[in-house]
Structure 1
Amino acid sequence: MKPIILSAFILLFLFSCSKDEAPDAIPESINISGKLLAPNNQDPIVNARVSAMQNNILKAETTTDAQGNFTIALEKGEYTLNLAKGLFTTQKQIVVEQETTLDNYKIETLPNIGVITGSFDNIESVLYGIGLVNPITNEPLFDIIDGITTNKNSHISNQEHLHGLNKSSDLESRNPILDPNVSFSYTDLMSDPTLLASYDILFINCSSHSDNPTYEQNLMDYVNNGGFLYVTDWSSSLLNTVTNNDTDYLSFYTPRRSGQSLSTTATILDGNLSAWLLLNFGISINDTVFIDEFLGSWQVVDSYDPTTTISWLNGVVDYRDNNNVTVTENKDLAFTFLLGQGAVFYSSFHTENDEFDFTTTDRIMEYLVFEMTAIE
């Protein structure tokens, strides 16, 4: 009987010990809410990554919604909060003690940006309007490179008059705050791979560019090595090498510059873009948006590869065929695709205003400015 009594005693002892040891308490999670805005401290940033770090260890992560809001669950303690939309970022130190709503945060760390001026496009106005500006001096926080005087003949061709709808020269109407602010020109930049590589993002406004294989190859190398490139309308000729002469990603319609429609009601193909436009600015109806900033003789994209390329918008437009007959057809209008370590954005429409007030098209471009460095 003794072995039986001893075994029972051991079991009783173990059971008593296990009752005395309290189970590990589950740490309490606390919801922390906030909002991320553009550098102008007004426009919400959608689908930005919000990461909470402790000692360089990721503790929790979430994304912002269409109105820039986020909620992240954290235990009590001190955290580094990293908020990023592609290359546009900010970082904050927070102490979590109880459920709370943080102050609105805005993007504070900017990529190095270069803008090449164009004859018919002013993306620099959009960049300025979203807050890429020194609040003390009112100077833009990006380089502006003269892309007009180095790319135009002393006269304006009839086709350029058509494209510009006989408006006054962009050189005359450009806001002086956004005049070129560097000593080198478009030709200097395009011929110097090292200078190109100094920019994280390069915006090339619509202008008339002649084919130049050296410039085209340098741009392709720039993107392959991690650069982000924005190109609109007539500047499409700079993408000849990138697209392998209309074989990869996009193919441009021939005859070139045959677009005729000056506006279209376009279908928005991305849910985040549609929600962002609707909820923040009230300018998206049933996933459509009215675009009226085409100029005469714009460049039509004939087709694109959906396995490699994102299309953002599609609308019914008119363009001329080889026989100068008008064709009415649905066409995709704006695209993003990855190339090597970087990405390219191309649009058949573009901005044309010289003021800092936002048109519908400007809002679309604003969204895509942040989105182009965030696609994966």
Structure 2
Amino acid sequence: MRKLLATAIVGALASAMPAGAQDSLKVGFVATFSGPNAALGEHLYQGFMVGLDHAGGRLGGMATEILKEDDQLKPDVGVQVVRKLIDRDKVDVVTGVVFSNVMMAIHKPLTESKTPMISANAGPSPIAGKLCSPYFFAASWQNDQSHEAVGQHLQSKGVKRVFLMAPNYQAGRDGLAGFKRYFKGEVLGETYTTVNQPDYSAELAQIRAAKPEAVYVFYPGGMGVNFVKQYAQAGLAKDVPLFSAFTVDATTLAAQGDAAVGTFTAAFWTDDLDNAASKRFVADYRKKYGSTPSTFAAQGYDAARLLDAAVKDAGAKATDGEALAAAIRKAKFDSVRGPFRFNTNHFPIHDFYLVETVKAPDGTLRQVNRGVVFKDHADAYVAECPMK
């Protein structure tokens, strides 16, 4: 496995520029593009590229160069590629990043170099709180929030006994902490498994023995494919409802098949949201890639639209890190989720929806929006952030 993907250069170079001026915007796009979770990075990138298309191939009107790097879901590789982007490639901004363990590793070199970072996915709790930075922004969410929404839903439905599972890394721990913040019933078991663990037979036996009313898990990418199929094969699906976040979505649904039917999740966006920006994005993504976009793709798209607006506002100072960060904080753009605003820690305040996976009359699998769980929901860590 090569450590670095070949650089992708997008957009023509600007023709004549004033002496001494930089003639293009350099964007480092870092994500997991290899291994069982590669689909998540590809969806982030594809969504970003639709956003770039909508900017005419030139973010903020500047010729745009995208440098695409694979972190391989390895924090040390993430640090290597980010240092290369900063020191050798001299990028103006970095975006992407699927996994929180990678984000935690690259946060320091990015913020110390004053390189603006727009996360298109990972939103670790420490970065939302005490490690918040004027150079870090999330175009997605804070890790806990979708999990909080499912916890709230089960609490409101009167569920009393649950079993929890997640991979043992930052986002897994954040996720279950978020769920428990709003679910006040009994947790019969809380199990953390190895990242990319392929077999869950031992844990499924524990669930059967515990006899919960519901199971809640967080298993993104290939982990989610394996878990959901094994859950159904073990016969648990017919007895114990399965709830999750980032486990059943457009990146995993085709592989999970009918095993995913009847599961519930929560998300800040669904492909049937009724606003102009979302409809345009969904239509153009389907046209470009021939499939329905996931929330990962929607986040990548919003990252591109946010950056486009900020570069326009920064103008001639867009390649200055401090000026670009200030512009990102104030930028206004049409988000797929509707109105978009940052909290003081640079994480969004937004709605969350309950989503059910169903089998349509034509036999296709769909995820259907079942209504709002949280309105204008802020993350739990903003009070720990010293920025105001």
TM-score scaled by structure 1?
Answer: 0.27
Higher normalized helix content (fraction of residues): 2
TM-score scaled by structure 2?
Answer: 0.26
Q: Which has the higher contact order (CA 8 A, sep 6+)?
A: 2
- The higher radius of gyration belongs to 1
Higher normalized strand content (fraction of residues): 1
